Structure 1
Amino acid sequence: MRILVSNDDGYHSEGIHVLADALETLGEVWVVAPDRENSAVSHALTLHRPLRLTRLSERRYAVDGTPTDCVTLGICQVMKEHPPDLVVSGINFGANMGDDVHYSGTVSAAFEAAIMGIPAIAVSQVLGEHFSFVPAGRVARHLAALVLERGLPKGTLLNVNVPPRPPKGLRFTRLGKRRYTEGVVEDTDPRGRVCYWIGGGDPVWEPLPGSDFLAVAEGYTSVTPLQLDMTHEGLLLSLLQDAASWDLPA
């Protein structure tokens, strides 16, 4: 089995090395990761300049690009002769739950693998006092073994969030809902000019039953299946049934 590992915290982050080490017993692990932090870049793909791929050691590479760039290069260039059986992204420094999956470079790296037809898992470590990446590495290895054995439906991935303390167990969940207390913070730079920080306040989560946030808050690892197809089937059906009343031009 061949496993491609990437992340958005950068090649030198602790989480990605714990993850790669944890997966070594399952097969041949390749790491292709950004050469610097790329948090909250979502699914950005670099099209306006060439990318540099640096070989750091055997099966270990850094890219001066985004997490999506890394997975694309990993599959289409680094491992093109024998593509990976699985892509695992992480272990992210911080949670990726609820609405935040839309901003996450960690989750987007896994989505890129799903787009390219390869099963994928995104793993994030929720922060807290005295947290360790080691339990998240164990969870990642367990889930990776199951996915390698059983596979995943096309166009899907597993989004995993591990609580700060060793988890009590595992729950299958849905995405939760959160809001930030201050979306934008106004400030002044050293030259006296007004500037702005986005995402200034702490998130406030809704304790929705069955959600990823509630599972983590209660000490469990959350595993949320995500899909590429964002079509709202209910609204689509309603629009098709109501199309005549829209009086649309031919």
Structure 2
Amino acid sequence: MFILCTNDDGYLAPGLGVLSEAAKALGDVHVVAPDREQSAQSHALTMHFPLRAKQVREGVHHVDGTPTDCVAVALGALLERKPDLVLSGINHGPNMGEDVLYSGTVAAAMEATILGIPAVAVSYAGRDATHMQSYGPLLEALLPQLATRGEFPAETLLNVNLPPIDASAVRGVQVTRLARRVYADSLTRAHDPNGREYFWIGGGNVEWSAPEGTDFHAVNEGYVSVTPLHLDLTNHALIQDVAAWNLAV
């Protein structure tokens, strides 16, 4: 198996090292990742500036673009053949609930899915990466199960969140749905030393609606969460209801 590993924290991020090492249990690994932090880039694609890739060493490139750019450049120019699997992560921080809409980690896996390649996004659901290194053996055992269990679901990627505890304390794996979160006071309004007003997005308080069966509940209980994410965002249950509005122009 030929595996492409990428992330949104940059090619030097420890989580990428843990994931790419674990992936070697599956086959040959090639890393193509951003040259710097690209968190919360979502599915951004660079279209108005040239992209440059640099080989760091054999099997490792960095690209001065977004995670989505990395997948596009890897498949279009850097890899000698199409990968059998794309792994994105390990993200330094959770990607649960609405996080998946903003996450560059998830977006890289989604880009691979759009291109017809099975993909898994992996995140460590804690800001302190103390225990991240312990997840190597766990991922070596889990990844083959995710990658080779029959035919990979069409137009679907798997979003994995690891609890912020030592891997030896993990209670198991749960297949989950997305939780819901609400940010409060996430916008800071202030003035710089020259008196000019600026705004800073981030921080604040997070409240979760996370009943049993959701990713946040599973991680909070010490389980690895695996959430299948589908590319089709259509609310099929409402198609007939919206059609009954008799919209016209």
TM-score bracket for this pair, using the shorter chain length: over 0.9
Asked whether 1:168 is paired with 2:141, we answer no
- Residue pair 1:123, 1:140 contacting (<8 A) in 2 also: no
Asked whether 1:26 is paired with 2:47, we answer no
> 1:177-216 maps to which residues of 2 (within 5 A)?
177-216=180-219
Q: 1:138–1:202: structure 2 CA closer, same or farther, 3 Å change rule?
A: farther
Q: 1:195–1:2: structure 2 CA closer, same or farther, 3 Å change rule?
A: same
> 1:1-250 maps to which residues of 2 (within 5 A)?
1-79=1-79, 81-127=80-126, 131-149=130-148, 150-165=150-165, 166=167, 167-240=170-243, 242=244, 246=246, 248-249=248-249
- Residue pair 1:91, 1:137 contacting (<8 A) in 2 also: no
**TM-score, with length taken from structure 2:** 0.93
What's the CA shift for 1:143?
3.5
Which sections of structure 2, spanning at least 5 residues, go unmatched? none
Q: 1:2–1:193: structure 2 CA closer, same or farther, 3 Å change rule?
A: same
Whole-angstrom CA distance in 2 between matches of 1:170 and 1:248? 49
* SS of alignment partner, residue 134 of structure 1: helix
- Residue pair 1:212, 1:224 contacting (<8 A) in 2 also: yes
Letter in 2 for 1:221: V
- Residue pair 1:91, 1:136 contacting (<8 A) in 2 also: no
Whole-angstrom CA distance in 2 between matches of 1:247 and 1:214? 40
Whole-angstrom CA distance in 1 between matches of 2:106 and 2:34? 14
What's the CA shift for 1:75?
1.6
* SS of alignment partner, residue 109 of structure 1: helix
- Residue pair 1:85, 1:148 contacting (<8 A) in 2 also: no
**TM-score, with length taken from structure 1:** 0.93
Letter in 1 for 2:87: V
- Residue pair 2:92, 2:129 contacting (<8 A) in 1 also: no
* SS of alignment partner, residue 98 of structure 2: helix
Q: 1:66–1:130: structure 2 CA closer, same or farther, 3 Å change rule?
A: closer
Q: 1:77–1:151: structure 2 CA closer, same or farther, 3 Å change rule?
A: farther
Which sections of structure 1, spanning at least 5 residues, go unmatched? none
Whole-angstrom CA distance in 1 between matches of 2:31 and 2:51? 16
Stretch moving more, 203-212 or 47-56: 203-212
- Residue pair 2:32, 2:70 contacting (<8 A) in 1 also: yes
- Residue pair 1:175, 1:212 contacting (<8 A) in 2 also: yes
Letter in 2 for 1:160: V
* SS of alignment partner, residue 11 of structure 2: coil
What's the CA shift for 1:130?
6.8
Deviation track 1:175-199 (CA, whole Å, cap 9, x = no partner) reads 0011112131111112111111112
Deviation track 1:43-96 (CA, whole Å, cap 9, x = no partner) reads 0000001100101111100000000000111122112x4210000000000000
- Residue pair 2:186, 2:205 contacting (<8 A) in 1 also: no
- Residue pair 2:5, 2:88 contacting (<8 A) in 1 also: yes
